[in-house]
Amino acid sequence: MTTAPLAEVAASNSTLRAFLHGLPGVDRVGADARAAMLGTRSIKTTAKRQAIDLAIRMVDLTTLEGADTPGKVKAMCAKAIHPDPTDPSVPSVAAVCVYPDLVATAVKALGASGVKVASVATAFPSGRSSLEVKVADTALAVADGASEIDMVIDRGAFLAGDYLKVFEQIAAVKAACGSAHLKVILETGELSTYDSVRRASWLAMIAGADFIKTSTGKVSPAATLPVTLVMLEAVRDFLRTAGRKVGVKPAGGIRTTKDAIKYLVLVNETAGPDWLDPDWFRLGASSLVNDLLMQRQKMATGRYAGPDYFTLD
């Protein structure tokens, strides 16, 4: 890996290309095997209890549908603050994630609860629009009070090898974010190879991303363990090379407590325990929360309650 100052890396498309293609490759077979092995860790009793609460605190409760209404967002915010109304010891989730036009509603509903508001901007989910529109989209969300912006990269430009274009878009959106945190969605399902995932991760981090995120949730496959493994390796190496810590967010398809715990094990043994914190690792998921609550209650009472004992919002 080069130790050249990263500022010079983005001088031109060819320097960027040389840098990204100089990163060590990723062997798919090996990466899959490592992720599968970590998935067999057996997490029980106290460790499981701790992991469930940590996972709840890491969730970005998300609704990204065309049919979203202010009412639905308000209901989701209430759930974000008190995921289980019958048990005040359950922590709040990290954030709610909504479309830009619903940011103001969410900010108002969450008040001083400490739950953050994240918003998908930049022509989500395809990213196929002009830079002006993307910046304006971001500015709207930030102006309405979003403290986190989830942007999508231009996968077309990335796959065409136009890395500088992707870099410049991320840098411009980062500038438009002001003090808001920028999460860059790589849409790994469309990048298809792990080599591309690693390159896109580095590209996003060099351009100023605070978080790198796997997916929009609109493309299959969304988050997978091996892809998250590759991204965790990237943030770990980036900290060592550039001295800046970047967070990771797998999103889409994480539905069960068992899955969530596998991700935590991956974080613990790849990037390290420093990343086991909602500031540095998030889970983009909604249906996951109820399963976490159900498992939490099972651990406390020894019995499973039915799904009707947990709220749907």
| Residue 126 to residue 102: CA distance in whole angstroms | 19
Marked catalytic residue, from 174, 249, 259, 262: 249
The token pair at 99 is: 């479309």
Number of Cβ within a 10 Å radius of residue 48 = 17
Is residue 237 part of the annotated active site? The answer reads no
60 DSSP assignment: E
Residue 300 Cβ, how far from other proteins at the closest point, in Å?
Answer: 16
Q: Where are the beta strands (DSSP E) in the chain?
A: 59-62, 95-98, 116-121, 148-152, 181-185, 211-213, 247-249, 283-284
How many residues of this chain interact with other proteins, rule: CB under 8 A? Answer: 28
Marked catalytic residue, from 60, 150, 154, 237: 150
For other proteins, give the closer residue by CB, 26 or 285: 26
Is residue 249 part of the annotated active site? The answer reads yes
Question: Looking at the chain, how many residues does it have?
Answer: 313
Answer whether 103's CB lies under 8 Å from 146's CB.
Answer: yes
Is residue 274 part of the annotated active site? The answer reads no
| Residue 201 to residue 183: CA distance in whole angstroms | 11
Residue 265 Cβ, how far from other proteins at the closest point, in Å?
Answer: 8
Residue 236 Cβ, how far from other proteins at the closest point, in Å?
Answer: 9
* Residues of this chain, 262-291, that bind other proteins according to CB under 8 A: 264, 268-269, 273, 276
Verify binding: residue 51, other proteins, rule CB under 8 A. yes
Marked catalytic residue, from 154, 213, 262, 291: 213
Q: Which residues bind other proteins (CB under 8 A)?
A: 1, 24-27, 29-31, 33-34, 40-48, 50-51, 54, 233, 264, 268-269, 273, 276
* Catalytic site positions: 150, 213, 249
